[in-house]
Amino acid sequence: MSVLGGDEPFCACSTPAGTAGLAVIRVSGASLCEIMSSCVRVLRASNDRCGIALSEVKGYEAAYAEFFDPQTSESIDKVVLVRYEAPHSYTGDEMIEISCHGGDAVRQEILRVLYSIGIRPAGPGEFTKRAFVNGKLDLSEAEAVMKVIGASSERALKAANSQLYGKLSGRLATIEDKLYKVMALIEMIVEFPEHEDTPENADNVSRNCRECADSLKDLAESYGRGKMLTNGMKVVLLGLPNSGKSTLLNSIAGFERAIVTEIPGTTRDTLEIAVNIEGIPVVLTDTAGIRTTDDVVEEIGVKRARMAAMEADMILCLIAPDTSVDDVKELIADADVARTRAVFTKSDIGENPDKEEIIKVLESMDITQNVSISAPEGINLGSLKEMILDCYEHAGGLVSDEVIVINGRHRELLMSANNKLNEAAMVCDSGMGVDIASSVIRSALDDIGDITGKTVSSELADTIFSEFCIGK
Amino acid sequence: MNIEEALKIEYAYMGGEYDVAVVGAGHAGCEAAHACAKMGLKTVLFTLFLDSIANLPCNPSIGGTAKGQLVREIDALGGIMGKVADECCIQMRMLNRSKGPAVYSPRAQMDRSRYSSVMKSALEDMDNLEIRQGHITDLLTSKNAEGKETVCGVRTASGAVFKASAVVICSGTYMESITIRGEVIAQSGPDGLPRSEGLSRSLADLGIPMLRFKTGTPVRINSRQVDFDALTRQDGELDVPPFSYDREMNGAKVPQEQIPCWSLWTTPDTKEIISSNMDRSPLYSGVITGIGPRYCPSIEDKFMRFSDKERHQIFVEPMGKDTNEMYLQGFSTSLPEEVQVKMVHSLPGLSNAVIQRHAYAIEYDLVDPLSLKSSLESKIVDGLFTAGQVNGSSGYEEAAGQGIVAGINAALKLLGKEPMIIDRSQGYIGVLIDDLVTKGTQEPYRMMTSRAEYRLFLRQDNADRRLTPVAHKIGMVDDERFARYEEKQQLIEEEKERLAGVYLGPSPVMEEILASAGYVLPPSGISLMELVRRPNITYDMIAPLDKNRRELPDYVKYAVETDIKYEGYLKLELEKIEKFADMERRKLPENIDYEDIKGLRLEARQKLSKHRPENLGQASRISGVSPADISVLHVYLEMIKRNKNG
């Protein structure tokens, strides 16, 4: 990354992390329309299939657009864009502001795509710095600008010391160590060709590169919410028979207009449907109604429902107008309250007469969030959706051990290093000189070093001297 | 001490007036003096002993990995080392032939005494240059208008005072040096030559920070008593281009009659002798306190540090055509003389060998290179330049590379011109100097190709492309040579263009050529350039397909092939270089007060105050200075700029 930056484009989310209705991502730099046309389709209406070019959007007017991943063509979010022309923008360069739906996942995905098309993450205080360099800020503000940069780098430093980062750098240290040893061997061969310890050729360079490339890819793929992001967040609908579970399931599926697939292997009694809520893959599980029964078959269904609830990332406990306080108590008897939310259904038919008492019971068990909906009428489905997203956001406990990378920039760097190492392996196998392989590996180490803070030149010399006995 | 004060000392006299005085006629001093004289300045070169000009006190060889590239760069800048080395070469090899063009490294064995006499007579023949034997003990300075110490001359031990507007000190390992063999310590320079006394003190008194390093050299033996049947022979190569671009373009070859080198392995006896005498090693008994180089340990060091290794390889190299003397590379030691005899006799084929010169360790004073600018001028004393081992480097080529830069910049300063700075993307010389002046060094600094970020670009074959235009601009390369250089570049470009334009359909001849390199025939037409780009296919291999090919010199064919094969990778490297250059262009004012800049972290403030980098690029390479700190400095620079403009 160039520290000076110039007008090369960079981006950052300008709204604070955490749940909010909207998030604003700002992009600043030259030729933005051209670069971003690969991931943005401006729509003239919600059913506009072709859209218009970004460059046709007038400056300072809001435009409705679809933001998609250019690699998979999958839609990430419907957003509102505002284009600012240079020099009449905050930074003085061309700028685009993207208002997207709030929530970590959408925001991170949009940033990831922006990074992948060559728009790098903003450095500490960079928007302000750019504004100053372009003469948008008064000279008297220079000191303040320098302080902003200093302060944001302190914050970044704190974030870098977080537990998760420690786990990442731990894993990267192993990979770096291996690569430095590979490099040291190549360098030994190149630097001291006649030395007694020097083999004629560096064996296993391509194998080692591929192994490291694979490890980096694994790390990169843990990005986002790891397992949840790839496999979907599992939401289980729990309730008495006929409490509106299936109706709700169908309305969410229909409401989201997502591809609804019946996942093979599911039994008649639990039905799983994959939907996409705000870019987050969610697996909704419809279960058999819970009730005490003497029917053997039905009892198996109830057991399975309970099992599904145990494995769920989130449990929606459905309470119909005719569900009694005791029924509710039984429903949530062995549910994990941290993951459980209450949904009062069929609000179009009428309110549950014991609603207040039920809420008290729920609160006594620390289930404080609830929502009243009518699935067929579509009442409050938006709120329900928010509740699901909120659970996702705060799912600290849901982040599995395999999740190492939570920063989109890190993911990009890891993928870039992964590509380079695969190329280095290819170069080795193709019979080109080790000089090129070493240049490519070095560049991969630079990418990793951007995360870990190590610089190749100094590390390399030390590795060579500690590994080999070199002398005149 | 100024001129007047120096003239008041007993027996003092005015010895002469020069533009530039170069102190020390080793590899750095010779290049510096040669450059100054070539650029038209009246120059004097002082040496402690006239017969030892350009002495090779260690290996009788020039070049090798990274060092070969340095010699080519010196030559591309109009320097003299490559020419003298070509003339005195008794064996030449191109190292790393199988490892890719970026790391090809020429290395030549030298006729040591001839190297010295050829260099001496070359310099004696130069206009504007006088060579004098003399022992410089003092740097003479006076304060300039701004109160900064400024050089005005030098003084010899015998009282002679010489006026000079610039002084280049290339004192090598001579300042206050001591040599050590076991318990025997001598106040001596290398090779039994007189040491330099007083000069180090004179520099320290001016406030220049000094360091003390250690290095060493192995035993020399007489070849008469060597049983060569017990050694492995290593011959030179006849098809290596010479160091000097002039010679290469004239079609000159390296000598076709060469002298072999030899190699052998130490025996269990060697290890036993060394370990039983370790208590007599000054390194381990604490006599030596100077910091030695990691890449050049003594044989006892190797056995101690890598104790699981039972044996080490030793190379036996001829010291010249007219002498039996041979150099034992890898057998450097500071053990006592009597132990050295036993050690040599433990080697296969050397049981009766006679030692002509003993090995020794040497300790010497040097200038902390952090006190230098990139031009190699001192930040503390105006007009004072230093080059070579006195700046903490090691090796003849590293010294010469600094020497030519210091000489050129001393001359440019007196001519009132901007200094010539070779940056890290332009040459190994740039990497070497930048590492020394921005990071400093903890041990004698050896050039290695891995220290260069842009290694694919810094090749031994294209040093002229990188540096000759610069050298021509400042007058180090004359018009005639520059015209030939341009002609060569034109040939290369024309040929590349031609290859890109010739498309061929699949044919049996093509199939045969491709098959020999492990490829199958492409389905449709392919350009000659695309063919050359493939690994394992050379320019010469496709000759049968290329009917209209004209006869081109080897160095043109080679450059064309390398350019084509490396194109994609070079492009990536060039992109990096562009970003790098942008940072180097942003100069940091000399009087900047880092304590005053809000937003810099404490560590960065301290490091920047200590190192005082010249530009943002240098600042970014100082450990402890983060990208955010650089960002703050960038804003600070903009602020200064706007303050000035407003």
* A417-432 pLDDT, tens digit each: 999 999 999 988 887 8
**pLDDT score of A433:** 80
Same domain, B237 and B349: yes
Same domain, A394 and A267: yes
Q: What share of chain B is helix, strand, coil (3-state, %, to 5)?
A: 40, 20, 35
**Structural domain total, chain B:** 3
Q: Is the pLDDT of residue A398 over 70?
A: no
Quick check: B367 and B222 in contact, CB under 8 A? no
Same domain, A290 and A195: no
Q: CA-CA distances (angstroms) from residue A358 to A253, A307, A351, B237, B618?
A: 28, 24, 12, 94, 69
**pLDDT score of A101:** 85
Looking at residue A375, which CATH number applies to its domain?
Answer: 3.40.50.300
Cβ-based neighbour number of residue B357 at 10 Å = 16
Same domain, B568 and B624: no
**pLDDT score of A267:** 38
Please check whether residue B558 lies inside any domain of the structure. Answer: yes
Residues of A in contact with B598 (CB under 8 A): 143, 146-147, 150
Range of the domain at A337: 257-277+286-398
Q: How confident is the model at residue A397 (pLDDT cuts 50, 70, 90)?
A: very low
Q: What is the mean pLDDT of residues A125-129?
A: 83
Same domain, B500 and B555: yes
Same domain, A328 and A447: no
Please check whether residue A175 lies inside any domain of the structure. Answer: yes
Better-predicted residue by pLDDT, A392 or B327:
B327
Same domain, B618 and B568: no
Q: How confident is the model at residue A259 (pLDDT cuts 50, 70, 90)?
A: very low
Q: Which of A251-255, A259-263, B75-79 shows the lowest mean pLDDT across its residues?
A: A259-263
| C-alpha to C-alpha distance for A277 and B372, rounded to whole angstroms | 62
**pLDDT digits 0-9 by tens, A71-110:** 888 888 889 999 999 889 999 999 999 999 876 678 878 9
| Burial track B533-552 (b if 16+ CB lie within 10 A, e otherwise) | bbeebebeebeebbeebeeb
Residue B473, min C-alpha distance to chain A (Å): 30
Q: CA-CA distances (angstroms) from residue B326 to B51, B320, B353, B404?
A: 20, 8, 11, 30
Please check whether residue A1 lies inside any domain of the structure. Answer: no
| C-alpha to C-alpha distance for B273 and B253, rounded to whole angstroms | 45
Q: CA nearest B330 in A: which residue?
A: A472
Q: Which domain-ending residue is among A379, A398, A417?
A: A398
Per the CB < 8 Å rule, is A435 touching B103?
Answer: yes
Same domain, A298 and A348: yes
Q: Which of A363-377, A403-417, B23-37 shows the lowest mean pLDDT across its residues?
A: A403-417
Same domain, A104 and A205: no
Looking at residue A180, which CATH number applies to its domain?
Answer: 1.20.120.430
| C-alpha to C-alpha distance for B95 and B213, rounded to whole angstroms | 30
Tell which residue, B206, B242, B231, has the closest CA to residue B106.
B242
Residues of B in contact with A435 (CB under 8 A): 99-103, 455-456
Stated as kind and residue range, the H or E segment containing B6 is helix B3-8
Same domain, B562 and B598: no
Cβ-based neighbour number of residue B276 at 10 Å = 11
Looking at residue A73, which CATH number applies to its domain?
Answer: 3.30.1360.120
Same domain, B601 and B557: no
Q: Which of A135, A150, A434 sits opposite B632 (nearest CB)?
A: A150
Please check whether residue B552 lies inside any domain of the structure. Answer: yes
**pLDDT score of A383:** 85
Same domain, A261 and A354: yes
Looking at residue B261, which CATH number applies to its domain?
Answer: 2.40.30.260
Same domain, A409 and A301: no
Please check whether residue B100 lies inside any domain of the structure. Answer: no
Quick check: A96 and A32 in contact, CB under 8 A? yes
Cβ-based neighbour number of residue A306 at 10 Å = 17
Better-predicted residue by pLDDT, A147 or B557:
B557
Q: Which domain-ending residue is among A398, A416, A449?
A: A398
Q: Which of A160-169, A258-267, A385-394, B124-133 shows the lowest mean pLDDT across its residues?
A: A258-267
Q: Which of A129, A430, A461 sits opposite B631 (nearest CB)?
A: A129
Please check whether residue B405 lies inside any domain of the structure. Answer: no
Residue A139, min C-alpha distance to chain B (Å): 7
Same domain, B488 and B618: no
| C-alpha to C-alpha distance for A56 and A65, rounded to whole angstroms | 13
Q: Which domain-ending residue is among B340, B363, B386?
A: B363
Across chain A, which distance is largest between two alpha carbons, in Å?
Answer: 93
A60: left (phi over 0), alpha (psi -120 to 50) or beta: left
Per the CB < 8 Å rule, is A435 touching B572?
Answer: no
Tell which residue, B464, B618, B475, has the closest CA to residue B556.
B464
pLDDT per 10-residue tile (average), chain B, 646 residues:
95 97 98 98 98 96 96 98 97 91 93 98 98 98 94 97 98 97 94 96 97 94 96 94 93 90 96 92 71 73 84 95 96 94 97 96 96 97 98 97 98 97 96 94 90 91 96 97 96 96 91 90 90 90 91 93 91 85 89 86 88 91 83 86 76
Per the CB < 8 Å rule, is B330 touching A471?
Answer: yes
Bridge partners of B178, per DSSP, are B363
Q: What is the pTM of this model?
A: 0.79
**pLDDT score of A263:** 45
Q: Is the pLDDT of residue A163 over 60?
A: no
Q: How confident is the model at residue A230 (pLDDT cuts 50, 70, 90)?
A: very low
**pLDDT score of B603:** 85
Same domain, B498 and B593: no
Looking at residue B633, which CATH number applies to its domain?
Answer: 1.10.150.570
Distance separating the N- and C-terminal Cα atoms of chain B = 44
Residue with tokens 């880092």, as numbered in its chain: B594
Q: Which domain-ending residue is among B316, B343, B363?
A: B363
Please check whether residue A134 lies inside any domain of the structure. Answer: no
Q: CA nearest A1 in B: which residue?
A: B579
Residues of B in contact with A196 (CB under 8 A): 265, 312-313
Q: Looking at beta carbons, which pairs linking A83-87 to residues 24 or more positions away fall under 8 Å?
A: A83/A32, A83/A33, A83/A54, A83/A57, A83/A58, A83/A59, A84/A59, A84/A60, A85/A59, A86/A30, A87/A134, A87/A136
Q: How confident is the model at residue A262 (pLDDT cuts 50, 70, 90)?
A: very low
Q: What percent of chain A has pLDDT over 90?
A: 15
Alpha-helical segments (H) within B476-549? 479-501, 508-516, 528-533
Q: CA nearest A141 in B: which residue?
A: B639
Better-predicted residue by pLDDT, B521 or A155:
B521
Same domain, B492 and B563: yes
Quick check: B416 and B86 in contact, CB under 8 A? no
Q: Is the pLDDT of residue A394 over 50?
A: yes
Residue ranges with strand state E in B380-516: 384-386, 503-504
Please check whether residue B443 lies inside any domain of the structure. Answer: no
Quick check: A278 and A385 in contact, CB under 8 A? yes
Same domain, B237 and B348: yes
Residues of B in contact with A10 (CB under 8 A): none
**pLDDT digits 0-9 by tens, A44-70:** 877 777 778 888 888 898 999 999 999
Same domain, A454 and A372: no
Same domain, B268 and B227: yes
Range of the domain at B559: 479-578
Residue A107, min C-alpha distance to chain B (Å): 24
Q: What percent of chain A has pLDDT over 70?
A: 77
3-state secondary structure of A347: coil
Please check whether residue B25 lies inside any domain of the structure. Answer: no
For chain A, positions 380-439, list CB contacts with chain B under 8 A: 430-436, 438-439
Please check whether residue A108 lies inside any domain of the structure. Answer: yes
**pLDDT digits 0-9 by tens, A315-352:** 899 998 988 888 888 888 777 777 888 999 888 888 88
- How many pairs of residues across A and B have Cβ atoms under 8 Å apart? 183
Please check whether residue B166 lies inside any domain of the structure. Answer: no
Highest mean pLDDT among A224-228, A364-368, A408-412, B14-18: B14-18
Q: Looking at beta carbons, which pairs linking B608-614 to residues 24 or more positions away fall under 8 Å?
A: B610/B370, B611/B370, B611/B438, B611/B440, B612/B379, B613/B438, B613/B588, B614/B373, B614/B374, B614/B587, B614/B588
Residues of B in contact with A455 (CB under 8 A): 623
Same domain, A265 and A295: yes
Q: Which domain-ending residue is among B324, B345, B363?
A: B363
**pLDDT score of A104:** 65
**pLDDT score of A234:** 81
| C-alpha to C-alpha distance for A435 and A442, rounded to whole angstroms | 10
Same domain, B228 and B358: yes
Q: What is the ipTM of this complex?
A: 0.80
Q: Which domain-ending residue is among A383, A398, A413?
A: A398
**Structural domain total, chain A:** 3
Q: CA nearest B67 in A: which residue?
A: A191
| Burial track B210-220 (b if 16+ CB lie within 10 A, e otherwise) | bbebbbbbbbb
Q: Which of B100, B586, B626 sits opposite A432 (nearest CB)?
A: B100
Tell which residue, B268, B265, B334, has the closest CA to residue B299.
B334
Q: Is the pLDDT of residue A400 over 60?
A: no
Tell which residue, B343, B327, B353, B347, has the closest CA to residue B265.
B347
Could you tell me whether strands B13-23 and B43-47 are parallel, antiparallel, or unpaired per DSSP bridges? parallel
Average pLDDT, chain A: 78
Residue ranges with strand state E in B325-399: 325-332, 355-357, 360-367, 384-386
Residues of A in contact with B58 (CB under 8 A): 472
Per the CB < 8 Å rule, is B638 touching A150?
Answer: no
Q: Is the pLDDT of residue A231 over 60?
A: no
Please check whether residue B273 lies inside any domain of the structure. Answer: yes
Looking at residue B551, which CATH number applies to its domain?
Answer: 1.10.10.1800
Same domain, A318 and A449: no
